[in-house]
């Protein structure tokens, strides 16, 4: 419940239309920079969506990123700037040309692309004028946002904590706005249709996301009812907050370490605030994406060292590069594969390309001087791969020592995500310092069910006897060898899965940081 806020949607108005001769060069530069900034923000949002499993939404951002870098768009805008049009006006004009072209196409889908190109060029223009494109900069007090529709790029620009909920005329439970609301932890009432028109003048709006209703300018009784509801919700959240910094233990006294999965070093601070006791999975792919060259050893070292220092003595598990034929890597000869998820990826690629793998291992060894780093190898299917990877780690250490570089201790473990690794767990445990079970892929490979296929929802579930049997076998092997067994897939953060995982012998849970307090509560109540 809160004041109503109606963002001024539509295209930004250029501050000026024309520029002088001597503003051309700076204008070209400013345009290039603004397009880069927008591309960066878009791909960041896309990555976040992908990490939270919204592959389809992430694809839209991929398309938007390509638009900001479109060579035809760029040269058309540059030409207009050279003809003394202001950069902000030029990019809008070119966007409008393409939008008109799409809108004229005899195809509903293509006509909708007109909105995409308007959205992207509008963002670049707004960036050039140093402001957000959706009028959300005017949102200074936490409010309920009312709009006909909200594009993902718009919801992403809402200042943190300022949206209490969304009410939109368009949309459904599975549309962008609903997904964004869930990831922001706020209620949304979508698809209200024409009823929105009447609500736009409201001073105050109360929304009940559970029931899917919105009440404009509520009377005193309604206000009281909503206040009771939101107090109850706040109390639930506050009760969870108490668990942020506890050490989770079951009633039998079994200590379960609760850690965070991170996609970049910048997330470290938030994760610590949520109560992360370490990092159970630090994905390194972000260093390799959206660029034309490979990250240098030094660049990688800086990123690993940042997360190592942020966590101090707490353990941080760095997973070596896990990409395959579905993502292009500059300088690596990747053939297009029929089945990238069953292809040349993870440790398979790393072992075949020492030029790629060695700099990563060296960077991890060097960064380990600044904290408690461990290294984990993805997609391992047999002990030979683990031995080869460890040999390369050893070789890298020897090289660094000869060079006189400072290094730290780095334990090496295996990500258990192929059924083969789970079945060979006893053998792998002899050579591993720890196991981490990647349930998302383990489910996909065990049940032969593509993670991204909507129709296979029923099979995208770690709570399947076959998967549970593999987890049990992995944990037993770990226990026999005296090494820890963690879980770093989505199952680790699911309240209904946590008791089962612990019963199977899991000693460590790693998840998206916001799920940590609830997971600690679930563990403490076992």
Partner 1 sequence: MAERETTVGPEEGIHGRPAAQFVKAAKGFSSQVVIVKGDREVNAKSVLKITGLARKGEKVTIRAEGEDAEQAVEALAELISADER
- Taking residues 65 to 84 in sequence order and writing x for each that binds partner 1 by CB under 8 A, - otherwise, the string is xxx--xxxx-----------
Examine the residue annotation and report whether 64 is marked as an active-site residue of this protein. Answer: no
Looking at residues 322 to 341 of the shown chain, list those that interact with partner 1 (rule: CB under 8 A). 328, 336
Q: Is 123 buried (19+), middle (13-18) or exposed (0-12) by CB count in 10 A?
A: buried
Shortest Cβ 371–partner 1 spacing (Å): 35
Q: Which of 468, 495, 190, 187 is CA-nearest to residue 509?
A: 495
Nearest-CA neighbor of 1 among 239, 229, 196, 169? 229
User: Using an 8 Å Cβ cutoff, are 374 and 317 in contact?
Assistant: yes
- Taking residues 445 to 484 in sequence order and writing x for each that binds partner 1 by CB under 8 A, - otherwise, the string is -------x--------------------------------
- Conformation bin of residue 60: beta by default, left when phi > 0, alpha when psi is -120 to 50: alpha
Please identify, using beta-carbon distances, which residue of 22 and 107 lies nearer to partner 1: 107
What's the min distance (Å) between Cβ of 460 and partner 1?
A: 16
* Choices 23-31, 101-109, 300-308, 348-356; region in contact with partner 1 by CB under 8 A: 101-109
Task: Give, to the nearest 10 degrees, the angle between helix 55-68 and helix 24-51.
Answer: 170
* Least spacing, CB of residue 56 vs partner 1, in Å: 8
Which residues, at least 6 apart from 379, have a Cβ–Cβ distance to it below 8 Å? 322, 345, 346, 347, 348, 415, 417, 418
Q: CB of residue 83 vs partner 1: minimum separation in angstroms?
A: 20
- Identify the H or E element spanning 303: helix 297-311
> 378 with 400: CB under 8 angstroms?
no
Q: 411-416 and 485-487 as β-strands: parallel, antiparallel, unpaired?
A: unpaired
Give the DSSP letter of residue 260: E
Binding segment for partner 1 among 78-86, 100-108, 427-435, 487-495 (CB under 8 A)? 100-108
The least distance separating partner 1 from the CB of residue 117, rounded to whole angstroms, comes to 7
- Measured from the CB atom, the residue of 113 and 319 that comes closer to partner 1 is 113
Nearer to partner 1, 327 or 500 (CB): 327
Characterize the bridge pairing of strands 279-282 and 257-262: parallel
- Among 301, 424, 475, 488, which one carries the catalytic annotation? 488
Closest CA to 286 of 244, 241, 323: 323
Q: In angstroms, give the least distance from the CB of 99 to partner 1.
A: 10
Choose the binding region for partner 1 from 57-65, 137-145, 156-164, 492-500 (rule: CB under 8 A): 57-65
Closest among 120, 200, 108, 199 to 152, alpha carbons compared = 120
Residue 65 or 483 having the CB closest to partner 1: 65
- Shortest Å distance, C-beta 283 to partner 1: 20
Minimum separation from the CB atom of position 107 to partner 1 (A): 7
**Residues between 346 and 385 with contacts to partner 1, criterion CB under 8 A:** none
What's the CA gap between 235 and 246, in Å, rounded? Answer: 18
- Candidates 8, 40, 63, 224; binder of partner 1 (CB under 8 A) is 63
260 touches 239 (CB < 8 A): no
Q: Which is nearer to partner 1, 104 or 138 (CB)?
A: 104
Does residue 283 contact residue 306 with C-beta atoms inside 8 Å? no
**Least distance (Å) between residue 21 CB and partner 1:** 29
Q: What is the CA radius of gyration of the chain?
A: 25
Q: How many helices and strands (H and E) does the chain possess?
A: 20, 14
The residue within the footprint of partner 1, chosen from 102, 166, 357, 434 (CB under 8 A), is 102
Interface with partner 1 in residues 383-442 (CB under 8 A): none
Distances (CA, A) of 231 to 227, 234, 329, 333, 413: 6, 5, 50, 57, 45
Q: Pick the catalytic residue from 64, 176, 424, 475.
A: 176
Of 40 and 63, CB closest to partner 1: 63
Q: Binding-site residue total for partner 1 (CB under 8 A)?
A: 22
Buried b (16+ CB within 10 A) or exposed e, 2-29: bebbbbeeebbebeeeebeeebbeebbe
Closer residue to partner 1 in complex, CB, 62/411:
62
Q: Is 176 a catalytic site residue?
A: yes
* Residue 345 vs 518, nearer CB to partner 1: 345
Query: How buried is residue 406: exposed, middle or buried, by Cβ count under 10 Å (0-12/13-18/19+)?
Result: exposed
CA distance 51 to 45: 10
Residues 176-215 contacting partner 1, CB under 8 A: none
Nearer to partner 1, 61 or 304 (CB): 61
Does 100 bind partner 1 (CB under 8 A)? Our answer is: no
Q: How far apart are CA 76 and CA 314, in angstroms?
A: 52
Residue with tokens 């939008």: 99
Within 103-132, the residues that bind partner 1 by CB under 8 A are: 105, 107, 109-110, 113, 117
35 binds partner 1 (CB under 8 A): no
Contacts of 147 (CB under 8 A, 6+ apart): 6, 7, 9, 154, 166, 167, 168, 169
Stretch touching partner 1 by CB under 8 A, among 98-106, 156-164, 317-325, 511-519: 98-106
CB-nearer residue toward partner 1: 59 or 354: 59
Binding site for partner 1 (CB under 8 A): 59-60, 62-63, 65-67, 70-73, 98, 102, 105, 107, 109-110, 113, 117, 328, 336, 452
Residues labelled catalytic: 176, 488
């Amino acid at each position: 419940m809160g004041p109503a806020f109606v963002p001024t949607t539509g295209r930004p108005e250029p501050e000026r239309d024309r520029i002088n001769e001597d503003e051309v060069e700076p204008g070209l530069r400013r345009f290039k920079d603004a397009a880069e900034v927008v591309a960066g923000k878009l791909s960041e949002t896309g990555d976040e969506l992908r990490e939270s499993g919204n592959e389809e939404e992430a694809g839209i951002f991929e398309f938007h990123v390509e638009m900001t870098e479109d060579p035809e768009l760029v040269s058309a805008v540059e030409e207009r700037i050279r003809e003394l049009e202001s950069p902000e006006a030029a990019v809008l004009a070119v966007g409008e040309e393409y939008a008109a072209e799409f809108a004229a196409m005899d195809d509903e889908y293509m006509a909708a692309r007109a909105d995409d190109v308007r959205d992207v060029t509008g963002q670049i223009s707004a960036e050039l004028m140093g402001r957000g494109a959706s009028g959300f900069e005017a949102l200074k007090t936490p409010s309920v946002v009312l709009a006909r529709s909200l594009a993902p790029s718009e919801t992403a620009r809402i200042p943190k904590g300022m949206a209490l909920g969304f009410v939109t005329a368009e949309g459904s439970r599975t549309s962008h706005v609903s997904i964004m609301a869930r990831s922001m932890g706020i209620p949304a009432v979508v698809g209200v249709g024409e009823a929105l028109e009447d609500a736009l003048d409201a001073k105050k709006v109360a929304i009940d996301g559970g029931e899917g209703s919105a009440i404009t300018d509520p009377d005193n009784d309604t206000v009281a009812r909503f206040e009771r509801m939101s107090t109850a919700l706040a109390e639930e959240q506050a009760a969870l907050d108490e668990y942020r910094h506890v050490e989770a233990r079951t009633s039998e006294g079994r200590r379960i370490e609760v850690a965070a999965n991170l996609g970049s070093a910048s997330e470290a601070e938030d994760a610590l605030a949520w109560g992360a006791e370490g990092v159970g999975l630090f994905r390194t792919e972000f260093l390799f994406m959206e660029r034309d060259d490979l990250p240098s050893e030094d660049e990688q070292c800086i990123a690993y060292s940042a997360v190592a220092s942020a966590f101090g003595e707490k353990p941080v598990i760095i997973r070596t590069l896990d990409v395959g034929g579905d993502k292009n890597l500059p300088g690596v000869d990747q053939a297009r594969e029929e089945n990238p998820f069953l292809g040349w990826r993870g440790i398979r690629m790393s072992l075949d390309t020492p030029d790629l793998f060695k700099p990563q291992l060296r960077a991890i060894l060097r960064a380990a001087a600044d904290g408690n780093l461990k290294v984990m190898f993805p997609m391992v299917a047999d002990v030979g791969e683990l031995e080869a990877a460890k040999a390369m780690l050893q070789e890298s250490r020897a090289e660094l020592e000869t060079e006189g570089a400072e290094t730290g201790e780095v334990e090496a473990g295996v990500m258990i995500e192929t059924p083969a690794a789970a079945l060979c767990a006893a053998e792998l445990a002899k050579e591993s310092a720890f196991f981490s079970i990647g349930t998302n892929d383990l489910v996909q490979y065990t049940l032969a069910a593509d993670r991204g296929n909507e129709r296979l929802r029923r099979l995208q579930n770690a709570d399947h006897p076959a998967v549970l049997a593999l987890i049990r076998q992995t944990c037993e092997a770990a226990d026999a060898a005296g090494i820890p067994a963690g879980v770093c897939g989505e199952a680790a953060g699911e309240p209904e899965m946590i008791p089962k995982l612990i019963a199977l012998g899991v000693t460590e849970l790693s998840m998206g940081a916001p799920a940590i307090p609830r997971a600690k509560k679930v563990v403490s109540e076992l």
